[in-house]
């Protein structure tokens, strides 16, 4: 058949088990002395924000370099410069010793530099095979797609990753789980010969088992001579996997050592830049009566959750991504429909039909995604602060501009919102100041309960400290706070009590003294595994 002829002619393309990986060996051996990829004195600004400041960092072939740092430290910016998405303002890149000026990701890809992002970039309605070989389809008679060849090449790839039993080439990519998508991205990266692979928090939505499989793949790639840049927040992964650890803080490279010589406590201290205790100042707090009482709350994603939050108390909500924490918050706030259970504020059960009911009962909610759920980006700081207090700024529905400005000014001052003016569009503000605008909106309502979902996500360290201080201050004023966070040190530092969720259930409640990172993680993860197992056998 002509199909065979077509593929036979191209039989020299990398077909074998490790053919794709072997390719990468040659350059790394030839240029053993020069790093596979290096940033030399790289700086990058976004407006007034300095994302990277004179960073010099090299990735060698055949090593795993962990890149750690808090959110906003510049890790993702650096990776995007590696990939040619951003161009450095100052400094340069070298690949294999030769200076490079990438104009676009395709320039970086041509040199075998690939980045696997948190949200893998796939075409959901195409098959695995089509996604893997998009742009490299072989044809019969120069016209027809050679499906047999495509299937064979895909099966080879899948076999290489030990996935041949689970997946076939024609499965729709959109039906894959996050772990499988990630592996698919890596396979696609291998296609063109891989020299440097950067992974941006690859395990954030993986189960333990899936993560272990990913680690095996990563180690094998390293052994085949690929330089790996591994970004993660999870200390244990970093210690298990990395040969070297580089720490970024506020856009600067503050430490770089071999993992064996870099104890965890020192890594964390380098990340934070100060002893952790100072970051989470806790004023005097007096725990009062129960303000928020949740009983048997059940939704599609949350099962039978009961707990209280007392006035003057910060309760942390821990769990892995997908454990149902945000869903719980949304249900308490009336945004998601409750199937069973009740929510009460100061003993009075709320009839929750929409967020308006929760707000009327004295609850405020800063959702996880500020830009899509909390802020009107085109509108001003003033409009965004006053959005939830129409009654305070109007008479007979007519806006009282004076009253509105007074309220906006009061909370902008109190929260130290840094903005050119109250009339500036909120999209111009930094992440930290945007979050303060959201907090200002709720504080203007003088809430009894505040629910904060990932309040410090994407915020630089300085602004984080301000948010922590603010949370402590609000607790001191007697507000009951429920804070969701995926950053363990943050939760441990802020919270008086920590609730752990897994698989939609509340699996544990830990006192501040009893809580530590390992314990929370094992509670969150153990349950997560059983959940995925049950999900997989329908």
Partner 1 sequence: MTHLKAEPIAAAADRLRRRTTLRGAIQRIGTHNFSLLIALSVLIAIFGSLRPDVFFLLRNILNIGQAIAILGILATAQTIVIISGGLDISVGAVVGVSTVGIALAVGWTGSPILSILFGVVVGAAAGIINGLVITVGRINAVIATLGTMAVFRGVAFIISNGQSISIFDPAFRFIGDGKILGVPVTISVLVVVVAIFFVLMQYTITGRNIYAIGGNPVVARLAGLNVRAYQIGIYMLSGATAGLAGMLLAARTGSGQPISGSEGLELEAITAAVLGGCALTGGKGTIIGGLLGVLIIGVLDNGLILTSVPTFYQMVAKGVLLIAAVIIAEQQARRYG
Residues contributing to the site for partner 1 (CB under 8 A): 333, 335, 354-356, 359-360, 365, 367, 372-379, 383, 387-388, 390, 393-394, 397-399, 416, 418-423, 441
Q: How far is the CB of 418 from partner 1 (least distance, A)?
A: 6
DSSP H or E run through 258: strand 252-258
Q: How far is the CB of 397 from partner 1 (least distance, A)?
A: 5
Q: How far is the CB of 365 from partner 1 (least distance, A)?
A: 6
User: Which of 443, 510 has the CB closer to partner 1?
Assistant: 443
Q: Can you give 383-409 as a three-state secondary structure string?
A: HHHHCCCHHHCEECCEECHHHHHHHHH
Count Cα neighbours of 211 within 13 Å in the Cβ-side half-sphere.
17
Q: How far is the CB of 349 from partner 1 (least distance, A)?
A: 19
Check: CB of residue 243 under 8 Å from CB of residue 219: no
User: Which of 200, 453 has the CB closer to partner 1?
Assistant: 453
Q: How far is the CB of 399 from partner 1 (least distance, A)?
A: 6
d(CA 486, CA 386): 29
Closest to 521 (Cα-Cα) out of 498, 496, 504, 493:
498
User: Which of 249, 382 has the CB closer to partner 1?
Assistant: 382
Q: How far is the CB of 63 from partner 1 (least distance, A)?
A: 43
Other CB atoms within 10 Å distance of the CB of residue 217? 18
Residue 537, burial from CB neighbour count under 10 angstroms (0-12, 13-18, 19+)? exposed
Coil, helix or strand for 69? coil
Which residues, in sequence order, are bridge partners of residue 340? 298
Q: How far is the CB of 310 from partner 1 (least distance, A)?
A: 25
User: Which of 131, 419 has the CB closer to partner 1?
Assistant: 419
Other CB atoms within 10 Å distance of the CB of residue 157? 25
Which stretches of 167-207 are DSSP H helices? 178-191
User: Which of 49, 399 has the CB closer to partner 1?
Assistant: 399
User: Which of 407, 422 has the CB closer to partner 1?
Assistant: 422
Q: What is the DSSP letter of 446?
A: -
Q: What is the DSSP letter of 350?
A: P
Q: How far is the CB of 514 from partner 1 (least distance, A)?
A: 34
d(CA 430, CA 24): 41
* CA max distance for the chain: 82
Check: CB of residue 63 under 8 Å from CB of residue 229: no
Coil, helix or strand for 424? coil
User: Which of 190, 393 has the CB closer to partner 1?
Assistant: 393
User: Which of 270, 463 has the CB closer to partner 1?
Assistant: 463
Joined together, the tokens standing for residue 244 give: 């070297």
Q: How far is the CB of 482 from partner 1 (least distance, A)?
A: 16
d(CA 265, CA 259): 12
User: Which of 123, 356 has the CB closer to partner 1?
Assistant: 356
């Amino acid at each position: 058949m002509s199909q065979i002829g077509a593929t036979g002619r191209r039989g020299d393309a990398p077909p074998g088990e490790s053919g794709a990986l072997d390719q990468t060996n040659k350059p790394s051996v030839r240029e053993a002395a020069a790093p596979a990829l290096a940033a030399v004195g790289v700086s990058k600004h976004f407006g007034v924000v300095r994302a990277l400041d004179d960073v010099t960092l090299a990735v060698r072939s055949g090593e795993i370099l962990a890149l750690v740092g808090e959110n906003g430290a510049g890790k993702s910016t650096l990776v995007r410069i590696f990939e040619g998405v951003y161009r450095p303002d100052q400094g340069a890149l070298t690949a294999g010793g030769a200076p490079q000026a990438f104009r676009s990701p395709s320039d970086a890809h041509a040199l075998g530099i690939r980045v696997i992002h948190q949200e893998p970039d796939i075409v959901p309605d195409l098959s695995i095979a089509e996604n893997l070989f998009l742009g490299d389809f072989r044809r019969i008679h120069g016209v027809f797609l050679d499906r047999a060849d495509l299937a064979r090449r895909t099966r080879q790839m899948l076999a290489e990753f030990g996935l041949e039993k689970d997946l076939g080439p024609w499965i729709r990519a959109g039906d894959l789980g996050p772990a499988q998508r990630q592996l698919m991205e890596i396979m696609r990266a291998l296609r063109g010969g891989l020299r440097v692979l950067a992974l941006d928090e690859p395990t954030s939505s993986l189960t333990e088992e899936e993560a272990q499989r990913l680690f095996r793949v990563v180690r094998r790639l390293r052994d085949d001579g690929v330089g790996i840049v591994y970004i993660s927040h999870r200390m244990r992964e970093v210690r298990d996997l990395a040969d070297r650890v580089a720490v970024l803080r506020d856009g600067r490279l503050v430490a770089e050592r071999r993992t064996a010589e870099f104890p965890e406590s020192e890594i964390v201290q380098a990340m934070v830049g100060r002893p952790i205790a100072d970051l989470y100042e806790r004023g005097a707090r007096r725990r009062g009566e129960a303000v928020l009482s949740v009983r048997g709350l059940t939704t599609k994603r949350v099962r039978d959750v009961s707990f209280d939050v007392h006035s003057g108390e910060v309760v942390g909500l821990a769990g892995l991504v997908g454990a149902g924490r945000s869903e719980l918050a949304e249900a308490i706030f009336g945004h998601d429909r409750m199937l069973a259970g009740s929510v009460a504020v100061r003993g009075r059960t709320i009839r929750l039909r929409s967020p308006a009911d929760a707000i009327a009962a004295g609850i405020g909610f800063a959702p996880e995604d500020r830009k899509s759920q909390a802020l009107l980006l085109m509108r001003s700081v003033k409009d965004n602060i006053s959005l939830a207090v129409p009654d305070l700024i109007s008479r007979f529905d007519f806006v009282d501009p004076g009253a509105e400005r007074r309220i906006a000014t009061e909370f902008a001052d109190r929260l130290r919102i840094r903005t050119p003016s109250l009339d500036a569009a909120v999209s111009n503000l930094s992440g930290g100041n945007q979050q303060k605008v959201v907090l200002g909106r709720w504080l203007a309502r003088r809430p009894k309960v505040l629910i904060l979902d990932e309040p410090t996500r994407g915020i630089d360290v300085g602004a984080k400290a301000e948010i922590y201080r603010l949370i402590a201050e609000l607790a001191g004023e007697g507000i009951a706070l429920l804070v969701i966070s995926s950053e363990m040190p943050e939760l441990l530092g802020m919270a008086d009590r920590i609730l752990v969720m897994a698989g939609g259930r509340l699996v544990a409640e830990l006192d501040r003294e009893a809580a530590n990172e390992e314990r929370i993680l094992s509670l969150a993860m153990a349950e997560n595994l059983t959940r995925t197992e049950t999900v997989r056998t329908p």
